[in-house]
Amino acid sequence: MWQSAGSVEDYSEDEPSTVSVGGKQIAVYLIEGAFYATAALCSHGRALLSDGYLEGEEIECPLHQGRFHIPTGRALCKPLTEDIATFDTKVEESILYVKIPEDPA
């Protein structure tokens, strides 16, 4: 289900953000004009990825420097053993939408 993540003007290149979308914490990235969304928390610990270091399409966790590939959520190096969730994004009339899967009832 597509949920609003606010105005595209609230986001800037090279500055990932953590936002609440549809009751979930999501990390949003704007990379070369394209929006990406992943789980907000690292799969290794309770670190917010938006506090990490963004380089190209990779985000480095601020706690133990594990790196993820943002478009796929793939864990790229130790100490990570698990990928993170990714979410589809779209922009309509300057509003960013993130597709949040419905929780099974």
For strand 17-21 and strand 24-31, is the pairing parallel, antiparallel, or unpaired? antiparallel
**Up-side HSE of residue 96: CA atoms within 13 Å toward CB?**
27
Shortest Å distance, C-beta 31 to ligand FES: 20
The residue (of 74 and 99) whose beta carbon lies closer to ligand FES is 74
* Closest residue by beta carbon to ligand FES: 45
Helix (H, G, I), strand (E, B) or coil at 8: helix
The residue within the footprint of ligand FES, chosen from 7, 25, 53, 79 (CB under 6 A), is 79
Neighbours of 62 (CB within 10 A): 15
**Binding-residue pattern over the window 39 to 78 for ligand FES, x denoting contact by CB under 6 A:** ---x-xx-x-------------x-xx-x------------
Q: Distance between CA atoms of 32 and 25, rounded to whole angstroms?
A: 23
The residue ranges that bind ligand FES (CB under 6 A) are 42, 44-45, 47, 61, 63-64, 66, 79-80
